[in-house]
Amino acid sequence: MAKKISRKDLKEPDEFLSFTAKALGWLNAQKVILLIGVAAIGLTILGSYIWQWHIESIEKKASRAFIEAKEILNAPVIPKIEGMETAVIEGTYSSDDEKYKTAIKEFEKVILNHGSSATSVLAVYFIGESYLRLGEYDKAIENLKEYLTRDGEHGELAAFAMEGIAASLEALGKDADAKEQYRRLTQAPLDIEPDRGLYHIARLEQKAGKAAQAVRLFNEILEKHPQTAFRQEIQDRLNQLPKVEKAEVEKPKVEKPKEEAEEASQPKTTEPEEPKKDATKDDKKASNVKAEEAKDVVAKEPEKKPAPQVEKKTEAVKSETPPTKEKKSATDKEGTE
């Protein structure tokens, strides 16, 4: 059954209408604040769109300027012939030096006019690369290091920047430092092409005259990276190197335990050696002693008596034979007389 509404309830104000009236009253009181808030939100959204458009505009301008500068690096070189007038063709250069110097100027404009863009970081790398090709190795190292600082070792061209630094150090005669930089190409996060770093290390070993070590590294590259871009160069270098037997190939050095290393570093205490005796003198003394002993033995032995002489066999035979008949008759006659 429906609940009956009394006259008292009808006279009381409706709850929903009273709440609505309160809300409208609050809005009227806070009208100014609400309008300011809505305007602020709208301006924020609008500002973000304007800023994004501005950034995109800068990046587009920077990209266009960067592409124009990079095209210079790919421009053909038409050297001038002495004694002949040659027409200057637009987009060509008379020498590599002229081309790279012009490219550097254009890349510097990208950095100057659009320094806040991501494209300007790439411009720094190509300035370093251009200086490397010009043979200005100190400037190449400076710009390539700046690129690594701005873009980090995870950057798109980080491995190539590290390789350029190592190549510049090698050109300056700092092979040991160059080898350390090449070795970083075999370690994360720069090991996108570890065979590249191994190839340069092996090449430096060959340059230093360590044929066995170079052969081991070259063969390791061919075994672990059969599709390496340096395959032909490696084959050519192996043909130049002397044939090395497997037993002669140097094994990587194994570090000794810390305790063994400390024992090896401590000086060994050795007992003083006895002075060596003269062997010839000892031999002479021994021979003299033996000679004296032999003399004593001879002196103590009794003198040997001479052996008795044996009578001749003929005499013994005569004494033993009986008298003949003639002698016997002679004796008989003497007896009768």
- Dihedral angle at the C-alpha atoms of 44, 45, 47, 49, nearest 10 degrees? 160
Total-model pTM:
0.59
Alpha helical stretches, state H, 172-300: 175-184, 194-207, 211-224, 231-240, 258-265, 279-300
For the chain, helix (H) and strand (E) counts, in that order, are: 15, 0
pLDDT of residue 337: 40
Residue with more model confidence, 118 or 82: 118
Vertex 20, ends 16 and 24: CA angle to 5°? 175
Q: 35-39, 61-65, 154-158, 277-281: which has the minimum mean pLDDT?
A: 277-281
What is the 3-state composition of the chain as percent helix, strand, coil, each rounded to the nearest 5? 65, 0, 30
Residue with more model confidence, 53 or 173: 173
- Give 135-160 pLDDT, tens digit per residue: 999 999 999 999 999 999 999 999 99
Q: Which three-class secondary structure string do you get for 48-114?
A: HHHHHHHHHHHHHHHHHHHHHHHHHHCCCECCCCCCCCCCCCCCCECCHHHHHHHHHHHHHHHHHHC
pLDDT of residue 334: 46
- Residue 265, pLDDT > 80, answer no
Judge whether 79 and 98 are in contact, CB under 8 Å: no
- Residue 55, pLDDT > 50, answer yes
pLDDT of residue 301: 47
- Residue 118, pLDDT > 50, answer yes
